[in-house]
Structure 1
Amino acid sequence: MNILRDFTEEMADQIRIYHYVEELVFSYRQFMTSHLKEEDIPLQECPLFIRLRFYDNKTQRELANEFHFTEGYTAKVLRNFEERNLISRVENPENRRQKIVSLTDDGKEYADYLISLMDMWEHKVVSSQSNVEIKNLKTSLYRMVMQAQK
């Protein structure tokens, strides 16, 4: 089903939310892929990396839990970031078995670049909306996410 072809705005309330989410995710992936360079981190690893910009000093276990990743996969992704000098991992002084993950200065700069791309895409998709509509949309999406997690 192609939402853009098969439906009209008058029928918007008859389209399942899933289809809108699917179309938005597809649009986001296309946009980001077109702007990322070959040497950039893979698109599927970007969410974990960007989260570090907002929640620095997380443990590997906390990151794995937040993203529903295995600890092994999380360690592999973090090793990739570390090899690129985007993060540092240091032993937690309170629990030596844990590693605290922090962005390096290069990592912060790169995260800000990725966030600027996200902002460009967001501006593109909400450009036909008023500020009030955007606020209402984000409030509704927030409530939906919270409800989905129950």
Structure 2
Amino acid sequence: MKTDKKDFSDNEIIEYPLPKILSIIFRSHNMYLSNLLKETEINFGEFPFLIDLYRRDHITQKDLADEFNVSEGTVARAVKKLEDKGLIKRKENPKNRREKIITITDEGKDFASKVFDIDGEWEDEILNHLTEDERLIFK
């Protein structure tokens, strides 16, 4: 399998389907994170929610569902597991009793910070041949 740009002609690169490229990147990232997370209590399905809460705390389950384009039930299950592990807390929204506001705990922040840094290293490795402008355009 060709894996390095020098293995491809310019024409092959242009003709390579974008969905296939995105799939390769996604699978590579999944394997990297799964390997990293296998030594922790958190699983790959919970990881994106914890990282999002690390970036923007005090949000609702609906906010998370909308952010990731998943059902509120999917969020509720992942959030329950994170809560059981002491990484987040859920509380009733005083303005809307049916709504839960989620906050990340100090333990959750510490864990997310470490994983976030390591995930950033993966991204830097993947994009290391791009200039800052090219990274911005790519993203």
Common topology (TM > 0.5)? yes
What is the Cα-based RMSD across aligned positions, in Å? Answer: 1.9
2:98 maps to 97
Correspondence 1:136 to 2:137: no
Q: Which residue of 2 aligns with 1:148?
A: none
Equivalent in the alignment of 2:47: 46
- For 1:4, the equivalent position in structure 2 comes to 3
- Whether contact under 8 Å (1:57, 1:100) holds in the other structure is yes
How big is each residue's C-alpha offset from its partner over 1:76-122, in whole Å with a ceiling of 9 and x where there is no partner?
11110000100011111211221100000001111111211211101
- Counterpart Cα distance in 2 of 1:17 and 1:30: 20
**Aligned residue for 1:146?**
none
Taking a change above 3 Å as real, the CA distance of residues 125 and 9 of structure 1, as seen in their structure-2 partners, is farther
AA aligned to 1:4 is: T
1:134, distance to aligned residue in structure 2 (A): 3.8
Equivalent residue number for residue 75 of structure 1: 76
Residue 111 of structure 2 is matched in structure 1 by 110
Q: Which residues of structure 1 form unaligned runs of 5+?
A: 142-150
2:45 alignment partner, SS class: helix
Deviations 1:18-38 (A, max 9, x none): 121111112112221222234
TM norm structure 2: 0.86
The two structures have a TM-score, normalised by structure 1, of 0.80
CA contact 1:3–1:19 (8 Å) conserved in 2? no
Please tell me whether the aligned partners of residues 90 and 102 of structure 2 are also in contact (alpha carbons under 8 angstroms): yes
Q: Is the 8 A contact 1:126 1:134 kept in 2?
A: no
Give yes or no for contact 2:46–2:82 (8 Å, CA) kept in 1.
no
| 2:58 and 2:101 in contact (8 A); partners too | yes
Q: For structure 2, which runs of at least 5 residues remain unmatched after alignment?
A: none
Q: CA offset at residue 9 of structure 1?
A: 4.2
* Number of equivalences: 136
Cα gap change, 1:135 to 1:9, in 2 (>3 Å): farther
